[in-house]
Structure 1
């Protein structure tokens, strides 16, 4: 489950990569677990010049804007987009607050924003029933490895170098199985993407080995991945 937070350097690097791959706003939003309006706003506000989007420049612009802006209460366009996306998925304000904003936002505030028109949704959205089912992952899942909840404190707080986050990005062009293996070092936020012919464990292992051999020894201490089947190479890599 994803909860609201500002776009990170890693998020912006992935947006840049997926934009260059020709992926649509909706595809990028789905991959990042965000609403399309959030991605659209990000590319519009933090584009470098006319139409190009560069993640490093976008991060600088976002940080500069945040440092000079004055507090305006809890409401923000990014927060509104996040809550709206959850309402569209038939989440109630109580569920949104309980799962994502416990102690930081009141469900009564969400109701008030809906009735005030600040979330661009009518009150009817609060009365809908039923849940949408997420599509099943047809490639399967793997279940080995250490839970992310068991990561040491220094890894969670990005205090030590050599701990990585891995993911895959699929192109939105045509029916090609090609994709990118993306790597980000948690402390420095250094980012790298390596092309893969498909999303198999063998291709992912090859990409990891390729990056590993191009860097100094012992740079890879740990890696955080999701449960996608391409990361079933976890066992051999860990050894």
Structure 2
């Protein structure tokens, strides 16, 4: 257990730890890299338990172990390990730890990048490089979260520097409705925090030019199947799922309930912010910016 709990806030799963310890699991025949190296396995599983995506685990391990050939793994290898035996007891638990937690995964060979139906979209490749540094506030990532039976949705928008979160009540995901609701929500923010938003290729963002017109914010689009390009949003969606788990019908959740969840996230101390809250950091940023103008 000590190998699992090395830092405050980390999680321990008796089921997963027990599985690792079993002799048949230690059999070296037909084992992938995660199964072969126990310390790599524990690192990956700990990341999943912390709601990290495979992309985030793959990227973070490079920083934590820059010169250790054992402690390196691609996000695709993590997915293959998880979905190798989708009906196995352990794999079912691992699948549930994924942000989107689907029972099956489409083969990469079947994934084809189709021509986008979003007119005049601007690629993330054209986004100014300084936005990657997270030194300037006002740059956001956006997404939709889908409810039970794909019949309900909510919008999530997260500020990249301070992780300030906005949760948007939506009636459906038609582009005109989404652009109207996103614009209304973003326009409640101070103008100094409205600069850019990076989104995926969902057709619900076909009205991106209307958002730009109403808010003044430039919308950039991530590459297909590249969720790590909006890693802050993906991680935040995982946090929201703790309050609104898979199978929730978002049509039964009103704006007041979403606001309660939003406030909890924005007033939650974050290690990456020196244990300040996103709300505190946004308030401080606003004060400093206006003092310097």
TM-score (norm 2): 0.39
TM-score (norm 1): 0.46
Higher relative contact order (Cα pairs below 8 Å, separated by 6+ residues): 1
